[in-house]
Amino acid sequence: MFSNNKPKVAIIGAGMSGLGAAIKLLESGYSCVILESQAEAGGLAGSFSIDKKYFPFGYHHILCQDKPLLKTLKKLGLYPQVAWKKGKVLFAVDNQIYNLENPWEFIKFPMSWKAKIKFAKLMAYCFLKKDWEKSLGNAQNWLDKIAGEEVRKTIFDPLMDIKYGLPSENLSANWLGSRLHYQEFSKPLGYLPNQDWTKVLTDKMAEKVKELGGEIITNAPVTKIRFNQNKVTGLTYVRQNQSYDINTEIVINTAPPHIFLSLCDYQDTKLQKVEYLDALSLILETEQKLPRELYLLSCLRPRYSFGGIFMLSSLNRTIGVKNGTIVNFFTTLSPKYEYLRSQNSEELLETYQRDFEKIFGFRLEPIWHHLTLIKNYSPKFLNDYKNPETRGNIPGLYFAGNYLTYPIITSTGSAIASGEKAADYIIQDHDGH
């Protein structure tokens, strides 16, 4: 139900943050329009289809500790369909594969006993530590202090290179510690059997927005945000080569900060400092079976063209078109791997196949494959990272997205929660509660 005295809110981006914000505002009686530059809602949690079956652009699992996501799944009636399974995480070192949860393989893992004990202590320390807000400095010093140099060099330096292409001295200890605390892969991971859950969730959230009277305009990049010193006045978007103006006093931006800053003349040093990385995600289906059951294989040494391989069908067995093995090769486009950006999907497949063969000893032959360049895959959580504010410094301007949720793990739920937080601030600022 709209109330006439509530202003219209324009939201930039129909990802999890934008959809989460819109649902909360619409339920509180605001009217909302979401402008999305892509053809479909979903953003980073978007999907592609092959033979009418949907797949996420890159691996997506439901984290059992992700309260905002679980709440949303419950609200949309999807929660009873969620199935849970523990995903096996393995590490490749010198073309040998190790499961560190298996005592025998932990013993064989190429690291000294002293380092293994310190590694176990680090994991226990992170599990028990609750507060990750107070700055712990850079990840290198912190790891060396708690776990020692050998653990850092064998396990964490390679993992940081895979994730960001940066040495651990540039990255935040808080970000790393809070990820280890979360124990993402020690707990069961959720999915919707036989379906791509991110597609189902996005569609349900978009449906909810429409059912509550909101509007989602796709293929509609915002090209300008207008404001004067005292307030937001509106924005401009383009659709089918035509420019459209929306007059509004309230805008929520969920696009990455560098995109937002290119749309207006706005000064904010925290926003200006946020840097992003792109990533390549190649998904394929094969009739071959991998010799080992795994959900994620992280390649610690040597570094291959991909940092990790996810086997999506090990979690969700029936996700494939032919119920074969679904493999997701993933490469963060840090400067060292930038050369892969120019490879087309056939060339990249060949590069990945060559490296895959070095580890598994046979050539992977896909039935189909699909490559996505995931733009703005993740902010870089550098050691001096500061969250920008949810309220902008011009009345009527608000921000949501994972660049505001450091140091907690970035997830679909953290994005939804950041959208809901922006909506709460708008409700407080305009309704006075």
Stretch that binds ligand FAD, among 35-43, 112-120, 311-319, 361-369 (CB under 6 A): 35-43
Q: Assess 16 for contact with ligand FAD (CB under 6 A).
A: yes
Stretch that binds ligand FAD, among 36-44, 148-156, 240-248, 385-393 (CB under 6 A): 36-44
Q: Which is nearer to ligand FAD, 68 or 366 (CB)?
A: 68
Number of residues that bind ligand FAD (CB under 6 A): 35
Q: Which is nearer to ligand FAD, 15 or 177 (CB)?
A: 15
Q: Cβ contacts of residue 230 below 8 Å, gap of 6+? A: 394, 395
| Residue entry with tokens 């219209």 | 8
When binding is defined by CB under 6 A, the residue of 377, 381, 385, 399 that contacts ligand FAD is 377
Calculate the alpha carbon distances from 270 to 277, 389, 390 in Å. Answer: 17, 8, 12
∠ CA 200-201-202, nearest 5°, is: 95
Q: Which is nearer to ligand FAD, 212 or 374 (CB)?
A: 374
The 3-state DSSP composition of the chain as helix, strand, coil percent (nearest 5) reads: 35, 25, 35
Task: Annotate 103-117 with b (16+ C-beta within 10 A) or e (fewer).
Answer: eeeeeebebeeebbe
Q: Report d(CA 245, CA 392) in Å as an integer.
A: 21
Within 398-417, the residues that bind ligand FAD by CB under 6 A are: 401-402, 410-413, 415
SS3 label, residue 207: helix
Q: Assess 43 for contact with ligand FAD (CB under 6 A).
A: yes
The sign of the CA dihedral 77, 73, 309, 37 is positive
Amino acid at 287: E
Per DSSP, 354 falls in state H
Structure tokens at 120: 């176990």
Taking a C-beta distance cutoff of 8 angstroms, is the pair 20, 416 a contact?
A: yes
Taking a C-beta distance cutoff of 8 angstroms, is the pair 218, 43 a contact?
A: no
- For residue 271, the minimal CB distance to ligand FAD (Å) is 14
Within 116-155, the residues that bind ligand FAD by CB under 6 A are: none
Amino acid at 78: L
When binding is defined by CB under 6 A, the residue of 10, 259, 280, 349 that contacts ligand FAD is 259
Q: Assess 281 for contact with ligand FAD (CB under 6 A).
A: yes
When binding is defined by CB under 6 A, the residue of 21, 26, 31, 37 that contacts ligand FAD is 37
Within 306-335, the residues that bind ligand FAD by CB under 6 A are: none
The separation between CA 354 and the C-alpha centre of its own chain, rounded to angstroms, equals 28
Q: Assess 255 for contact with ligand FAD (CB under 6 A).
A: yes
- For residue 213, the minimal CB distance to ligand FAD (Å) is 21
Q: Assess 254 for contact with ligand FAD (CB under 6 A).
A: yes
Q: Which is nearer to ligand FAD, 116 or 317 (CB)?
A: 317
When binding is defined by CB under 6 A, the residue of 25, 63, 136, 426 that contacts ligand FAD is 63
Q: Which is nearer to ligand FAD, 63 or 271 (CB)?
A: 63
Stretch that binds ligand FAD, among 104-112, 204-212, 252-260, 380-388 (CB under 6 A): 252-260
The sign of the CA dihedral 9, 14, 17, 21 is positive
The separation between CA 87 and the C-alpha centre of its own chain, rounded to angstroms, equals 18
Contact code string over 209-238 relative to ligand FAD, x by CB under 6 A: ------------xx----------------
Q: Which is nearer to ligand FAD, 148 or 413 (CB)?
A: 413
∠ CA 422-376-50, nearest 5°, is: 105
Q: Which residues of this chain interact with ligand FAD, rule CB under 6 A?
A: 12-18, 35-38, 43-45, 58-61, 63, 66, 221-222, 254-255, 259, 281, 374, 377, 401-402, 410-413, 415
